[in-house]
Amino acid sequence: MDKIYLNQMQFYGYHGLFPEENKLGQRFNVDLVLELDLGKAGQSDDMDDSINYGTVFNVTKEVVEGKSRNLVEAVAHDIAERLFSSFDKLQACTVKVYKPDPPIPGHYQSIAIEIYRERP
C-alpha cells in the first residue's frame, strides 16, 4: 500500500484529566500515515486521485482544537474516524498524538499515543 506522511503538525487543545489542562490547554503534535493506492494519482497528476494534505490538516485541527477529551487515546481515535468519513480513498491510517508537556513530574521529551486503523 502507498503512504502519505504528515509529520509533527502542531495544535493547541484542551485535553486531559486535570482541570488545569481543560482550562489552560497545551500543545499537541500529530503524525499521520495515510495508506491508499496512489498509482492513479501518479499517472494522472490530478488531486482528485489522491488526498488533499491541506484538507487532512484541517480535519485534524478540528478534532485536536475542538471539544475537550479526557484521554489522548480518544483524540487519536476521533482523528482516525474523521479521516475515514472525509476521504473515501483512505484504506488505513496510523495516528500518533504527542503531548509534549503533560503535568507529570520527570524529564522526558513527550508522551505519545499511536493507533492503527483500517477502513471499517
Annotation marks residue 99 as catalytic: yes
- The active-site residue out of 23, 61, 96, 99 is 99
Burial code (b: 16+ CB inside 10 Å, e: under 16) for 55-84 equals ebeebbbebbeeeebeebebbbbbbbebbb
Strands (E), the chain: 2-13, 26-36, 92-99, 111-118
Is there a contact between 38 and 22 (Cβ–Cβ < 8 Å)? no
Cell output for 39: 498509482
Catalytic residue numbers read 99
